[in-house]
Amino acid sequence: MDKLHEALRRHFGYTSFKKGQEEIVKSVLEGQDTVAMLPTGGGKSLCYQLPGLLTDGTVLIVSPLLSLMEDQVQQLKMRGEKRAAAYNSALTHQEKEYILKQLHRLKFLYISPEALQSEQMVRRLQTMKISLFVVDEAHCISQWGHDFRPDYSKLGDIKKKLGSPVTLALTATATEETLKDISRMLGLNEVRYLIHSVDRPNIALHLEEVQDTAGKNERLIELVRKLQGPGLVYCPTRKWAEELAGKIAEETRMRTEFYHGGMDAGDRMLIQQQFIRNQLDIVCCTNAFGMGVDKPDVRYVIHVNLPQTIEAYMQEIGRAGRDGKQSVSILLKAPGDRGIQEQLIQTEALTRQTIDFLYEKLADVRDERGARESLEQSGLTETQARHFSHLFFKFRHLGNKARELIYQEMDFRRQQKLNKMAGFAQITESKGCFREGLLSYFNETLSAGKSGNTACCTHCGLNLEDYETKGDHPFMNQLTAWEEELDTIFAASRDRIC
């Protein structure tokens, strides 16, 4: 056994790497800036955790979600690595101060892109040896990505301030254009691209036409009664997620909850952990759910409406079958689906009149955090507020031209979303192999001999009965009081760094 595999066994208990992991780890250990794409469930966290354990210095991981960071920190501590912490807006002032004082003792620091804008944090990090700069969910850095986060776009400058350490950018779904943009935004000149297929062969892809929304709801109830779980049901709106969760719970008596971005952070964390611990059969959710949820045995993912992008769809179905076992994705379609998503995209976009009003409102605001708070108080969503404040401070020095440039940028984003959604809709309407159509978007082709496989997709002869429960539904763990659950969930966060 070579040294790398010995380290893998010693630190993680594995005897072999998952596909793609080893070459990413070796690339990082060779000091090579790397942009890597592994499918959802491909084990991206090991690609920086193992090199971090084998080198001196601190690994800085930029991560977009609180739940993702907390989960990774807890997993490291469970393996005995106590030198890990997450720094983000959920911490109290005292907790932030404690972590700042302990930075020099940390091996792994998870931080949100927003928190990394702090000059105090950057100054502290400049005094340390950063052995590896990791950008997780790196598609968020690109305007061409499906989940653009403005604060990600500043990471290239921050990396330079930290002495341009070896950089690893990780994503699960990105086009060639997005991957090149990631490299450009991070200022990576001699970069190694390690791109692996987005395909998850163990997830069968089922497309099903229904007459209308009522027909979807009826078919959904029928499916969750029959399918082997646990499962996720993705919904286009928060209201839809709440109503479907109630309907499923009432008609099937299955343990069902809803999850969306409008919920309190504690409630979201509770639902996520209950699902991970097999205390829930089904979660009805918006696209806010999923990133970083390390549950290996999700057996099905159902979409009750057309997702807005192929990238989002691939990420969401990738919640299923992380254990490598056969699972199924089901997309329920109705004639009005495309119109619903177009309306949602148009509603999220800001009109020229609204932009003029908001521009005046921010006239005396000096920092982006204050701008976001003001915008959210005005009724904008968190995503709208982030994007508008980013553009406001990007262009405000241009005077009268700024408003027009903001409008053009936001209109570009709106049109881009409409184009992506239309492209996905076209693939779902094709008469050919659904998997082939999806892979072609990423400039991939289906492996020889895979076309026509009955475990591939509806077009290739998929039989849903193969994914139904044989006998009774499996026993779920007992739900405990929510106070006890939350106490358990946050216990690791209260542990002091040894």
Would you state the pLDDT for residue 281?
94
> What is the rounded average pLDDT of the residues 356-370?
84
**Residues of the chain with pLDDT > 70: what percent?**
91
Domain extents for the chain? 3-196, 203-335+430-489, 349-415
Strand partners, 234: 285, 303
Which band of pLDDT confidence, cut at 50, 70 and 90, is reported for residue 347? confident
Would you state the pLDDT for residue 159?
93
- Omega before residue 230 within 30° of 0, cis: yes
> What is the rounded average pLDDT of the residues 288-310?
85
Strand partners, 333: 209
Nearest Cα neighbor of 488 from 290, 272, 297, 291 is 272
62 is written with which tokens? Answer: 């930029």
| pLDDT of residue 300 exceeding 50 | yes
The answer to whether the 3-196 and 203-335+430-489 domains have the same CATH topology is yes
If one compares 42 and 17, the residue with the highest pLDDT of the two is 17
Q: Beta strand 327-333 with 203-209: parallel, antiparallel or unpaired?
A: parallel
Cα separations (Å) of 150 from 96, 114, 138, 235? 23, 9, 12, 25
**What b-and-e string marks burial along 126-151, b requiring 16 or more CB atoms within 10 Å of the CB?**
eebebbbbbbbbbbbbbebbbbbbbb
The CB density around residue 93, as the number of other CB atoms within 10 Å, is: 7
Would you state the pLDDT for residue 387?
84
| pLDDT of residue 383 exceeding 50 | yes
Would you state the pLDDT for residue 437?
93
Nearest Cα neighbor of 380 from 392, 372, 369, 368 is 372
Q: How far apart are CA 366 and CA 76, in angstroms?
A: 39
Would you state the pLDDT for residue 34?
96
Alpha-carbon torsion 205, 208, 213, 217, what sign? negative
Which CATH topology does 3-196 take?
Answer: Rossmann fold (3.40.50)
Q: pTM above 0.75?
A: yes
How confident is the prediction for the chain on average, in pLDDT?
Answer: 86
> What is the rounded average pLDDT of the residues 45-74?
87
Domain 203-335+430-489 sits in CATH 3.40.50.2000: no
Which band of pLDDT confidence, cut at 50, 70 and 90, is reported for residue 496? very low
Would you state the pLDDT for residue 294?
73
If one compares 413 and 226, the residue with the highest pLDDT of the two is 226
Would you state the pLDDT for residue 450?
58
Q: Is 133:159 a contact under the CB 8 Å cutoff?
A: yes
> What is the rounded average pLDDT of the residues 45-69?
88
If one compares 478 and 313, the residue with the highest pLDDT of the two is 313
| pLDDT tens digits for range 65-101 | 776 777 788 888 888 888 988 887 777 788 888 888 8
Nearest Cα neighbor of 231 from 283, 279, 274 is 283
Q: How far apart are CA 226 and CA 464, in angstroms?
A: 10
Which band of pLDDT confidence, cut at 50, 70 and 90, is reported for residue 452? low
| pLDDT of residue 491 exceeding 70 | no
The CB density around residue 167, as the number of other CB atoms within 10 Å, is: 25
| pLDDT of residue 425 exceeding 60 | yes
Close Cβ partners of 257 (under 8 Å, ≥ 6 residues apart): 245, 271, 274, 275, 280, 282, 283, 284
Which band of pLDDT confidence, cut at 50, 70 and 90, is reported for residue 272? confident
The CB density around residue 263, as the number of other CB atoms within 10 Å, is: 17
3-state helix, strand, coil in the chain (%, to 5): 50, 15, 40
Q: How far apart are CA 439 and CA 442, in angstroms?
A: 5
Would you state the pLDDT for residue 479?
54
Which band of pLDDT confidence, cut at 50, 70 and 90, is reported for residue 254? very high
Which band of pLDDT confidence, cut at 50, 70 and 90, is reported for residue 498? very low
| pLDDT tens digits for range 384-420 | 888 888 888 888 888 888 888 989 988 888 898 899 9
Task: Indicate the DSSP class of residue 140.
Answer: G
If one compares 264 and 230, the residue with the highest pLDDT of the two is 230
Q: How far apart are CA 122 and CA 135, in angstroms?
A: 16
Q: Beta strand 282-285 with 231-234: parallel, antiparallel or unpaired?
A: parallel
Q: Is 323:297 a contact under the CB 8 Å cutoff?
A: yes
- Among the ranges given (57-71, 199-213, 447-461), the one the predictor scored with the smallest mean pLDDT: 447-461
Q: Is 110:84 a contact under the CB 8 Å cutoff?
A: yes
| pLDDT tens digits for range 97-111 | 888 888 889 999 999
CA 368 centroid distance within chain: 24
